[in-house]
Amino acid sequence: MNSLTTRTKMFLVFIVISIIPIIIVTINSYRSYTKLVNQQVSVVTSNTISNSLEKIDGIYQNINRITLTFQQFSTVPGSPTVADQLYKLINNKEVGPYDIYLARRDMQFFFNNLILSNDYINGIYLFLPDGNSISYTNNNTDLHFGYVPFNDVWYKQTLQKKGGLYVGNVSTKSFIINAQPSVTFARAIYDFNSHKLLGVLMLDCDIKIFKALDNDIIPNMTNLYLVNDTGNIIYDNRMSSIGKPLPDYLKSKISNNSLGNKEEVKNGNLTVIKSFPDNDWDIVASIPINELYKPYNLSEKLIIYISITCAVIFILLSMVLSNQLTRPTIELSRIMRTNKQLKPISTNKYLQRKDEVGILYTEYNNMIEAINRYIKESYQNKLMTLDSQMKSLEAQINSHFLYNTLESINSIAEIEEVESISIMTKALGDMFRYSIKTDSELVNVTDELNHVNNYITIQNIRYDNSIDFKLEIPTEIYTYQILKLILQPIIENSILHALESKRMKGSITLRAYEGNNNRIVFEIADDGVGMDSEKLNKIKKSLQEQPKFTELGRRNKQSIGLKNVHSRIGLYYGLEYGLTVESEVNKGTTIKLCVPKINKNIS
């Protein structure tokens, strides 16, 4: 068997699972025909009633769960439960309409959610022990003004159940405005600690709650009834007996149904009764036997002809299917075996198919592409990481050297009382100290702005205070964190390319505000010479290019400035963040920097 090909094995499997059952069925059909029909009828009826039982029991359990949640769950997360709200009302000796209004408002979110998620609920009503009521509805129905249920049968029976679920008959409720035939579920709510009555909850439900009952029944054959403990019909699939008592001959069968499940054939009808495990309801189905037997009245010759025909068809199908199903697998195994010693290659076969075979070939091609891409990217990423480490080490060494040198110059300037040199060297020293901080890539906005101010201090001394620098930043912005060294390079770009060419006093304004989607936007605007459209488009195109590795140790002019800042932001935060540039000749340039809002207290 192990030496056989997959195609042959599959052909034999198809033959075994198709021909042998046909032979067995043909031989035994004469002896077991009657038994088979009876079994089939039993299975059909049992499945029909069991499915209906499960559906109605699910509806009952859902109502039971909904009514129980009023004691266990909060009206709004973190707020008191419904039972707590009722306890507060009944213990208020001077409760008035405003107190009822406040309680209804506090519970409205919870109740409306229940109504919206269960479209069969017409209304939810809470009756307090003092006669007050709170109602929630999803249509024009509501309680009649001044209605008090104390003397109604449903209310008394609900109290008698001591917290159990009461189910009423299908009827039109006289105490509800614009009422339609409905079924009522009610439960008394008690305080967990004192067992004191807090109120009575009533759910008024449309009879469509039982609509799923007749989805799986045998059409035009079955009379299906849902009956409560008093023998009244809650629902029937023909919608003709709702609210009426069950016929006496069926009611007597229910009373004798001590085991909860019963089947009986009488007068050509099969009567099936099943009881619910968690309540006093019963499902009663009456099915005509003759209608069930019709599909099984096959002649002996027809059975033989069908068996022979099926055998021939299955043999042919087995040959075709075994060949069709195994051909793509055999082809793929050949490709993989041929290329196992060479570079993995993809294939274009079977890609147009939409079934599992097409998925298999598509995923195989994706796998090959992913392997090739991974090999390429893995080496490139290692080189980029090594280059970044070299740049970082080089920058730290240079910064430490310059910082120490500037400290020495600053000391000499203070001794010699040369104030401008002292100011410049101190500012430059602070800038280098800030640039070599390594505890985190993220810094407070305050620290980044101090770094910018140090830079402006140096440049103002250099340009004889010809730079008018303005800060327009709300206080709350200072509490956030941003990526280090992303504002100063943009200020430097504005001075070098906008104000320096202007040859007169200029201004730079740094603004910040909170944007949409939890973002912070920094806006650096100058009144310099600006840029023409060609230069502006070149910069925008540069910002759109993805950062890429060129050569280990290689440096270029784009390692600082706008491109560098934009690339660092994109790599750290994501490609949806970064820089945008707008400029107009002789009017100035505005650069917007967008980063996510990150609070310093969030790790």
Average pLDDT, 10 consecutive residues per value, the chain (603 residues): 67 75 72 66 71 78 80 57 76 77 79 81 87 81 86 89 84 86 87 82 84 62 74 76 74 58 67 73 75 62 74 78 71 66 59 69 76 68 54 49 60 67 71 66 88 84 84 92 88 80 81 92 92 90 73 46 82 87 91 90 51
pLDDT of residue 380: 62
Three-class SS state of 399: helix
Kindly give, in sequence order, each residue whose CB lies less than 8 Å from that of residue 29, ignoring residues fewer than 6 positions away: 36, 303
Across the chain, which distance is largest between two alpha carbons, in Å?
125
Report the alpha-carbon distance of residue 87 to residue 135 in Å, rounded: 17
pLDDT of residue 393: 45
E strands, 79-149, are: 121-127, 133-137, 142-143
73-201 carries CATH number 3.30.450.20: yes
Which CATH code is given to the segment(s) 211-295? Answer: 3.30.450.20
Residue 145 DSSP class: T
Report the alpha-carbon distance of residue 502 to residue 195 in Å, rounded: 85
pTM: 0.42
The two structure tokens encoding residue 370: 């992913």
Residues across the chain: 603
Report the alpha-carbon distance of residue 450 to residue 190 in Å, rounded: 64
Question: Which of 3.30.565.10, 3.20.20.70, 2.20.28.120, 3.40.5.50 is the CATH number of 442-449+461-603?
Answer: 3.30.565.10
Report the alpha-carbon distance of residue 395 to residue 405 in Å, rounded: 15
Backbone phi, then psi, for 462, in 5-degree steps? -65, -40
Q: Look at residues 329, 381, 385, 333 and name the one whose alpha carbon lies nearest to residue 358.
A: 329
pLDDT of residue 523: 96
pLDDT of residue 552: 44
User: Residue ranges of the alpha helices (H) in 191-242?
Assistant: none
pLDDT of residue 261: 64
328, 350 Cβ separation under 8 angstroms: yes
